[in-house]
């Protein structure tokens, strides 16, 4: 496994932000909709977005060990 680039890191961070927002919007909509079938679909979508977020976070954590460290300056 190779370290991810700064650009890849930005892409993953943006994707995490998007997945978090989508999960929250779907969860909010699911509680606001009175049609049970639609509410159930939205809850499922919220769960899928939460899983995507977790997968992206896991990817970052796996690559954290490979990230180059910069010398600390005081």
Nearest Cα to Cα of residue 46 among 59, 60, 58, 29: 29
| 67 class by beta-carbon count within 10 Å (0-12 exposed, 13-18 middle, 19+ buried) | exposed
pLDDT top residue among 12 and 74: 12
Tell me: pLDDT of 51 over 90. yes
Looking at residue 3, its pLDDT comes to 79
Q: Rounded CA gap, 62 and 56, in Å?
A: 10
Share of the chain above pLDDT 70, in %: 89
d(CA 46, CA 3): 30
- pLDDT tens by residue, 16-46: 999 999 999 999 999 999 999 999 999 999 9
CA distance 62 to 68: 13
């Amino acid at each position: 496994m190779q370290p991810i680039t700064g650009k890849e890191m930005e892409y993953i961070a943006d994707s995490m932000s998007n997945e978090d927002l989508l999960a929250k919007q779907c969860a909010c909509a699911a509680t606001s909709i009175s049609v049970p079938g639609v509410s159930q679909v939205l809850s499922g979508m919220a769960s899928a977005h939460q899983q995507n977020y977790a997968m992206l976070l896991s990817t970052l954590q796996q690559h954290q060990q490979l990230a180059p460290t910069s010398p600390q300056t005081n």
